[in-house]
């Protein structure tokens, strides 16, 4: 039986219940984060919790915990559930009150839950790459907020699933924005490129790490939007996310990317990224 965190209390999974008028349940009015756990340790935990605080600030949900307090609670949750490799999922909603679109005017405490899930590294995808399709980005224009409103993302991922693909690459007016649950990157003539961090994408923690790695290693990196045409014409394409790390994309819309093999620069970035994980969490396979 696993343990979950509910408003700061550790309780058995079976006892965790949500009210039908919780605003997260009714409106998707809340925010969330997913943190990777390797060898029982959180990777980039601080960065994720700082982004959580930033998201909460953008929609005025008051989180009464500091980043440090949250880290301590999540570490304890990981310990209690004996998670070796996995994830911690957490969300804050605006709490429970009679249904009304506007924020409650009286003090309503946010609802905080967190739980863990065992998950191994996606070794096969990392080694062989995955397929993707392109889909129109039909989402709103505050994709920088890691909100529970994921309907656009869910619909995009479903299209990928129906096409037997791993990810949907979304575009807005022929500009590639991001994946349904990842950031998208291209490499052309040794230059590594991903959409700038603005309101049309989520500024992935993995994305930020990769930019940092490129800058440190002297690899040319540009945070600059690119077109569908650039995507089709790229030497290499990959996606990044907490659970997928640096995953090569070897075909787009059923057409191989360049030779259809995993690219050398992508492999180099995978190696650097793995070193970051090892430096933080110890040896991984």
To the nearest whole angstrom, how small is the minimum distance from the Cβ of residue 102 to ligand PMP?
A: 27
Give the residue with the Cβ less far from ligand PMP, 3 or 203.
203
User: Does 266 interact with ligand PMP (rule: CB under 6 A)?
Assistant: no
Give the residue with the Cβ less far from ligand PMP, 153 or 266.
153
User: Does 202 interact with ligand PMP (rule: CB under 6 A)?
Assistant: yes
Give the residue with the Cβ less far from ligand PMP, 95 or 193.
193
Instruction: Reply yes or no on whether 146 is catalytic.
Output: yes
- Positions in 34-63 near ligand PMP (CB under 6 A): 34
Name the active-site residue from 41, 117, 123, 146: 146
DSSP string, the chain: --EEEETTEEEEGGG----TTBHHHHH--EEEEEEEEETTEEESHHHHHHHHHHHHHHTT----S-HHHHHHHHHHHHHHTT-SSEEEEEEEE--B-SS-SSPPSS--PPEEEEEEEE----HHHHHH-EEEEEEE----S-TTS-BS--HHHHHHHHHHHHTT-SEEEEEETTEEEEESSSEEEEEETTEEEE--SSTTS---HHHHHHHHHHHHHT--EEE--EEHHHHHT-SEEEEEETTTEEEEEEEETTEESTTSSPPHHHHHHHHHHHHHHHHHH----
Residue number closest to ligand PMP, CB atom: 204
CB 195 within 8 A of CB 228: no
Give the residue with the Cβ less far from ligand PMP, 79 or 275.
275
Give the residue with the Cβ less far from ligand PMP, 96 or 221.
221
CB 83 within 8 A of CB 114: no
Among 55, 96, 168, 206, binds ligand PMP (CB under 6 A): 206
Among 31, 205, 219, 277, binds ligand PMP (CB under 6 A): 205
User: Does 178 interact with ligand PMP (rule: CB under 6 A)?
Assistant: yes
User: Does 242 interact with ligand PMP (rule: CB under 6 A)?
Assistant: yes
Among 23, 94, 195, 207, binds ligand PMP (CB under 6 A): 207
User: Does 181 interact with ligand PMP (rule: CB under 6 A)?
Assistant: yes
Q: Which residues bind ligand PMP (CB under 6 A)?
A: 34, 153, 178, 181-183, 202, 204-207, 240-242
Which residues does the annotation mark as catalytic?
146
């Amino acid at each position: 039986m696993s343990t979950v965190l509910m408003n700061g209390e550790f309780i058995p999974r079976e006892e965790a219940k949500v009210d039908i008028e919780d605003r997260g349940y009714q409106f998707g009015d809340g925010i969330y984060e997913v943190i990777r756990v390797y060898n029982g340790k959180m990777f980039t935990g601080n960065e994720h919790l700082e982004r959580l605080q930033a998201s909460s600030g953008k929609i005025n949900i008051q989180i009464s915990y500091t980043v440090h307090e949250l880290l301590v609670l999540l570490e304890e949750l990981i310990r209690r559930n004996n998670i070796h490799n996995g994830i911690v999922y957490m969300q804050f909603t605006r709490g429970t009150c009679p249904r009304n679109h506007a924020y409650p005017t009286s003090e309503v405490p946010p609802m905080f839950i967190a739980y863990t899930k065992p998950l191994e590294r996606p070794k096969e995808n990392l080694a062989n790459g995955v397929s993707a399709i392109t889909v129109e980005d039909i989402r709103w224009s505050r994709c920088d907020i890691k909100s529970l409103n994921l309907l656009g993302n869910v619909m995009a991922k479903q299209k990928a699933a129906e096409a037997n693909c791993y990810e949907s690459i979304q575009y807005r007016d022929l500009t590639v924005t991001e994946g349904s649950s990842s950031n998208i990157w291209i490499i052309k003539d040794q230059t590594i490129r991903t959409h700038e961090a603005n309101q049309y994408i989520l500024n992935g923690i993995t994305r930020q790490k990769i930019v940092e790695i490129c800058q440190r290693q002297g690899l040319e990196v540009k945070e600059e939007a690119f077109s569908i045409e650039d995507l089709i014409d790229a030497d290499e394409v990959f996606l990044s996310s907490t659970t997928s790390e640096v995953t090569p994309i070897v075909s787009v819309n059923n057409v191989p990317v360049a030779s259809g093999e995993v690219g050398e620069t992508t492999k180099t970035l995978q190696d650097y990224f793995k070193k970051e994980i090892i430096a933080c969490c110890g040896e991984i396979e």
